[in-house]
Amino acid sequence: MMRAMREITKPVFWVVAVSFIGWMAYGQITDIVGGGKDVVLKVDGTVVRSQPFQQQYQATLEQYRRQQGGGRLTREDERQLQDRVADQFIQKILLERAYGRFGITVSDDEIIQAARSSPPPQIMQQVLQDPTFQTNGQFDITKWQRYISSAGSEFASQVEQLYRDYLPQRKLEEYLTADVYVSDAKLWRLWRDQHESVAVALLAVHPEDVPDSLAPVSDAELERYYGVHEADFKRPAAAWLSYVELPRIPNAADSATARAHARALRAEIAGGKAKFDDVAKKESADSGTGSRGGDLGWAKRTGAGFVAPFAAAVRRLTPGVLSEPVLTEFGLHLIRIDSAKGDSVRLRHILVPILLQGAHLDAVDARTDTLDRLAADQTDGSRLDSAARRLNLPLARAPKLIQGERLTLGRSTVPDVSVWAFDARPGETSPVIDAAQASYVFRLDSLEAAGVPRLASIRARVLDAARYEKKKVVARERGGQAAAALRDASDLVASGRARGYRVEKLGPFTRVTAPVQFARNPLVLGVAFGLRQGERSGVIADETGWFVLQALARAGADSAAWLKQRDQQRESLLRPIEQARLQQFVAALRADAKIVDRRREIFRPATASES
């Protein structure tokens, strides 16, 4: 049990604590002896240096790889994780100052009481899902309490650190939401929204239903609309790229080699010549589980959460039996169920990747080296054209790449290029970028700056928007005509359809399960729940159209059922409010702080032309 809990706590503990513990002391020492050359962040004079930043970043990388089941990280992934680490350091500095300003402290007794009451929030989900702490499939607090009472000092210190990080923040959240009170009336209203239901007839007239011929737009009207609504047409930066693609797809011989290797590993384990754990640590391509002997933890017997071939194999296996090689999109798997409990099983697997092998690998690598030597990391973009001719590969054009989005070619997402493209200059080429089934070199052909384009280049788009405004006027007139024509009709559905209007029967539905017709129409939805059965509305207008409603049926909410769950409802409602207040508070602190971020300067990779 202790080993299992260490596996749960260690990744979270190190990410939360390891870099922060030595951070302040390290900063003070290097301020004296090292100067400021390795300062990564500075927040109102408090510095974060390269060593603790890199420690935290590496811990975060390791946790991310474990969660993703291993595999290569793209530059986009790395940048997002680095941003996350920087935000953690900045928030840590700002919150520590806020704790001091508000006199927020945490005593040993508070930590002990919190630990007895529940697992730390940082590892709550892992603990709740571990059968070790369950009775009849439900979390059992007494099992948790018995465990922490008998656990050793290592685990106790880890839990203590998690609570020392969490409890001050929790106190600050409570302070920031001291003015927030959720009344019974509000709780009832929310419950009613989820359980009161209606069925209605809906007559709708939308601007998009109006023909273009009834909403002409002159050139003068078009220019006037563009001038008033320029901000609506602002666009992000974009890049246009050319590229050469060198496929790295395994052939039949590669697949046969991988399958033979998987069968040989299975024979070693099944014959008692090697232990499953040892083979997984040595051979598995799943870096997230290989170091743990292939342990996938507890999973449902149905195989839910795994790809279909893997899940099917799990359903067929019995405890202790080693599967034949199972082919999935990731490679070949050897799967074993260690134990079963109820509808859950403890799984292990060894992943044997299907990789390029032998002469095929040598040939592809040689061509990749040639592509690298001739075309990668160049300031002269014509080198890519020459390399394409030399290797007899097509020079292709990539789809328009929007800043902040990832580049997709066919069914494959290409890593790194969406970061490189907006750091490069037109004409430059990228390094060799390896994706799952190909290697690439890209050339940045041109960049389009963010901003508002000229009217001539987006004329059709502006015309559609201006015409839509005129269609709204026509739709309003049609809505009024429909309401007048049906004023004396008792059955909106039959009478409306008889006159050629589009009328739908909708429901029953609640306020939170309303059909798509109400998704952008909160006013119309409110009217639907305000009508008595058989009552008809007047014309309702909003940004999406003009509407007439008739109530067909309604059912009220159960107040007795609401009372039984009121306290839990209040708690679940307050928690996100507290978190939102904290985020707003930190955002305000950050806006007022002087923050210097030198990550791009310190961690900037060198290109071939610079070396």
Residue among 294, 233, 283 at smallest CA distance from 453 = 233
Whole-number pLDDT of residue 200: 95
Alpha-carbon Rg for the chain, nearest whole angstrom, is 31
568 contacts: CB under 8 Å, gap ≥ 6? none
Cα 518 to Cα 512, 538, 544: the distances in Å are: 10, 17, 10
Query: Across the strands, what pairs with 439?
Result: 246, 434
Whole-number pLDDT of residue 277: 92
Which of residues 28 and 450 earns the better pLDDT score? Answer: 450
CA–chain centroid gap for 548, Å, is 40
User: What does the pLDDT look like over 462-518, one tens digit per residue?
Assistant: 999 999 999 998 888 888 888 888 888 888 988 888 888 889 999 899 999 999 888
- Among left, alpha and beta (phi > 0; psi -120 to 50; other), residue 191 is alpha
Q: How far apart are the first and last CA of the chain?
A: 52
Whole-number pLDDT of residue 41: 94
Which of residues 598 and 14 earns the better pLDDT score? Answer: 598
Percent residues over pLDDT 70 in the chain? 92
User: What does the pLDDT look like over 200-234, one tens digit per residue?
Assistant: 999 988 898 889 999 999 999 999 999 999 999 99
Whole-number pLDDT of residue 18: 42
CB 373 within 8 A of CB 386: no
Whole-number pLDDT of residue 399: 96
Say if residue 609's pLDDT is above 50: no
Containing 328, the helix (H) or strand (E) segment is strand 326-328
Give, as one character, the DSSP assignment of residue 35: T
Whole-number pLDDT of residue 98: 92
Residue among 520, 503, 522 at smallest CA distance from 511 = 522
User: What does the pLDDT look like over 171-192, one tens digit per residue?
Assistant: 998 888 888 888 999 999 999 9
Whole-number pLDDT of residue 30: 45
Say if residue 61's pLDDT is above 50: yes
Mean pLDDT of the chain: 87
Which of residues 418 and 601 earns the better pLDDT score? Answer: 418
Residue among 536, 543, 527, 548 at smallest CA distance from 482 = 548
What is the C-alpha to C-alpha distance for residues 565 and 562, in angstroms, rounded to an integer? 6
Whole-number pLDDT of residue 545: 84
Confidence tier at 4 by pLDDT (50, 70, 90): very low
Containing 242, the helix (H) or strand (E) segment is strand 238-247
Tokens linked to 282: 């040595």
Say if residue 17's pLDDT is above 80: no
Whole-number pLDDT of residue 3: 43
Point out the least confidently predicted range of 421-435, 535-549, 560-574, 588-602: 535-549
Point out the least confidently predicted range of 78-82, 94-98, 486-490: 486-490
Cα 539 to Cα 15, 476, 523: the distances in Å are: 58, 9, 12
Say if residue 362's pLDDT is above 50: yes
Whole-number pLDDT of residue 343: 84
Say if residue 276's pLDDT is above 50: yes
Cα 24 to Cα 46, 86, 156, 181: the distances in Å are: 9, 15, 23, 38
124 contacts: CB under 8 Å, gap ≥ 6? 118
Cα 83 to Cα 56, 383, 579, 599: the distances in Å are: 12, 34, 20, 10
Say if residue 12's pLDDT is above 80: no
Whole-number pLDDT of residue 354: 92
CATH of domain 197-234+458-555: 3.10.50
What is the C-alpha to C-alpha distance for residues 409 and 346, in angstroms, rounded to an integer? 38
Look at the block and give the residue holding tokens 């590496």. Answer: 58
User: What does the pLDDT look like over 437-474, one tens digit per residue?
Assistant: 899 999 999 999 999 999 999 999 999 999 999 999 88
CATH of domain 252-352: 3.10.50.40
Confidence tier at 284 by pLDDT (50, 70, 90): very high
pTM summary value = 0.50
User: What does the pLDDT look like over 325-350, one tens digit per residue?
Assistant: 999 988 999 999 999 888 889 999 99
Mode of pairing for the β-strands spanning 295-300 and 503-510: unpaired
Span 544-568, mean pLDDT? 91
Whole-number pLDDT of residue 468: 93
